[in-house]
Structure 1
């Protein structure tokens, strides 16, 4: 998805975010984004662990 975004693309995105949100809100947005990613990661980990608990003993998930 982000394979085509280089350093110049990231600089442009950060500059636009700085103009739109301002320097005071940017750290708050970054922290909120990080918290959201952390919560999503923990939730998906919980779903995966619940799925593994439901497997009968001796059965393993196929490796992808």
Structure 2
């Protein structure tokens, strides 16, 4: 029984240390901001002629 308790306490201590280390790492800082960078084209800014050309090309592929 003594070995089980000792193993449990060691496991709990290791889990606590891992949690503290992970909380110190700022993992959110590594993620890129989705609003930064190169945004996609705004659908409102596409000309009607470009839309027609794209639809014609799509129809030709189908």
TM-score of the pair, normalised by structure 2: 0.43
RCO comparison, higher one (Cα < 8 Å, 6+): 1
Structure ID, larger Rg: 2
